[in-house]
Amino acid sequence: MNKSEAESHFEKYRKYLFDELGRLASYVRLYRRLNERKADRLKEMNIAPAFFSTTIDALFSAIVLWVDKLFGDRSERGLLNFLSFVEHNRKIFDIKELQRRKNYPDDHWMLQNRESVTFASIQQDRKRIAEFKPLKSFKLRRDKFQAHFDKEYFFDRNKLHKDAPLTWGDLEQVIQLGKEILNSYSADYDGNTHAVEPINAGDVDHLLNRLHLQIQKK
């Protein structure tokens, strides 16, 4: 593709990947908040246990699937494919192209001590993904349970938790990894970086606290 086509494709690719990363961040934020509120609002959740338990379970499945779609090596439009696009269109990330897009003067701070995107720097990001250990747990859960039932894990859920452990930190760090990689190339392209803001999980706090007050009044 020519430079104009590559630029247009990058801008769409960036937008949609940030959208999907934001969707994942929202799933994680709400999933964690609902689990945390079990400590002090379990009675309120048990007013509608089918809703809350099903929501928590569905959110976890969505988290596993979205991580695999964003980071999996079989995903046709995930971060690894994005890096392949960057590799084959490195010319649009040249420092001179950044200067042209933003009309920066030669002495602008954004142009100082800035290195162009190289094959080596792209390989480093591929390595960051490959070496992020929790992705193995996400993949195993996706392949063996969330997307397909593996007989071994279907009948032994404890083995699934043992073989594919995940922590709250893993869920937060996988979002951070995606954000850092996307923002690195976004900054090289036009100097813009993007926050990945999840939905307002405080909404569920408002709901549970209102229920708590109603119960106390009775």
Nearest CA to 115 out of 90, 95, 87, 92 is that of 95
The whole-number mean pLDDT for each consecutive block of 10 residues of the chain, a chain of 218 residues, reads 91 97 95 94 92 96 96 92 97 94 90 90 97 96 93 94 96 96 96 86 84 80
- Token pair, residue 148, equals 């397909």
- Structure pTM? 0.91
* Residue-range domain boundaries for the chain: 3-217
Phi/psi class of residue 76: alpha, beta or left (left: φ > 0; alpha: ψ in -120 to 50)? alpha
Count CB atoms within 10 A of the CB of residue 43.
11
